[in-house]
Amino acid sequence: MALPIMAKATAVWLVDNTTLSFKQIADFCGLHELEVNGIADGEVAVGIKGFDPITNNQLTREEIKAGEDRPIHKLKLKFYAAAQGEQKRRGPRYTPLSKRQDRPASILWLVKFHPELADAQISKLVGTTKPTIQALRERTHWNIANITPIDPVALGLCKQGELDAAVAKAAAKAAKSGDIMTDEERSKLVSTEQSLHMITDAPMPSNMGGLENFSLGNTDPKPAKKDLIVDADSLFNLPKTGEDDDAEE
């Protein structure tokens, strides 16, 4: 559900100027019911000026009246036709000041355990710059000796779903480029025994003329010509030379 801009200031105005229930205001502004109760008691949002949702085109008087008449009615944010399809602002994620010192540790973790992630993906996940990522990849960062890799999800710099989506996208891109074997490619692998049977019909080299009838899978090869038959014993019955006769004497 879309929330109004300046939700807490809007809640302050609704508490001060309407008879809506705390739950209705909390649901509309994305707050907890006890937080709205604290606003009414003056314990929460002290010093915040109310933000009129009617003047700022977020609610209509009819919608507020319907909520006041029926406590179970849920307020609906006014529809903006011009806002449909509006793109979000692109750029690195904003990181609170209290967590910025943890970014090098999270970047080092991503570089170490997910090397398939591109610098742009890491920058979007933890809100950093490419020179910082490159320095940590090459271990030339000025404080590299004191940095320990820590999961950015554990540090609260990104959500687990965002990290999983980035890793899946990087893996799909790597598989498409051929760097990683897909499941379909892995299923086409055959065993050594199968591969030996697959090469029985392979063509023979052109320089082995006369051996076309030989086959790797044939246990009784038959040569194409009789003159190719060679008697092994004839190779050892060589004619005797004169030196051999002298040796026998």
Q: Give yes or no: residues 76 and 116 share one domain.
A: no
Q: Give yes or no: residues 124 and 152 share one domain.
A: yes
Question: Is residue 36 in a domain?
Answer: yes
178, burial (CB in 10 Å: exposed 0-12, middle 13-18, buried 19+): exposed
182, burial (CB in 10 Å: exposed 0-12, middle 13-18, buried 19+): middle
Q: Give yes or no: residues 107 and 60 share one domain.
A: no
CA–CA separation, 89 vs 199, rounded Å? Answer: 58
Q: Give yes or no: residues 101 and 159 share one domain.
A: yes
CA–CA separation, 10 vs 166, rounded Å? Answer: 35
Task: Judge if pTM exceeds 0.75.
Answer: no
Given this model, what pLDDT does residue 21 score?
92
Q: What is the pLDDT of residues 51-89, one digit of tens each?
A: 999 988 888 899 999 999 998 999 988 865 544 544 455
Q: Give yes or no: residues 102 and 172 share one domain.
A: yes
Q: 49 lies in which domain range?
A: 7-83
Question: Is residue 112 in a domain?
Answer: yes
Question: Is residue 66 in a domain?
Answer: yes
Q: What is the pLDDT of residues 31-58, one digit of tens each?
A: 999 999 999 888 888 888 899 999 888 8
Q: Give yes or no: residues 118 and 152 share one domain.
A: yes
In contact, 90 and 140? CB cutoff 8 Å: no
Residue after which a domain boundary falls, among 177, 194, 218:
177
Domains held by the chain: number: 2
Query: Which stretches in the chain have pLDDT values below 70?
Result: 1, 79-93, 178-249
What DSSP character marks residue 93? P
Q: Give yes or no: residues 111 and 135 share one domain.
A: yes
In contact, 4 and 55? CB cutoff 8 Å: no
Question: Is residue 91 in a domain?
Answer: no
Question: Is residue 14 in a domain?
Answer: yes
Q: Give yes or no: residues 14 and 47 share one domain.
A: yes
CA–CA separation, 205 vs 106, rounded Å? Answer: 57
Question: Is residue 62 in a domain?
Answer: yes
Q: Give yes or no: residues 13 and 54 share one domain.
A: yes
Given this model, what pLDDT does residue 46 score?
82
Q: Give yes or no: residues 121 and 158 share one domain.
A: yes
Q: Give yes or no: residues 76 and 140 share one domain.
A: no
Question: Is residue 203 in a domain?
Answer: no
Residue after which a domain boundary falls, among 83, 107, 130:
83
Residue after which a domain boundary falls, among 114, 146, 177:
177
Given this model, what pLDDT does residue 149 score?
92
Question: Is residue 22 in a domain?
Answer: yes
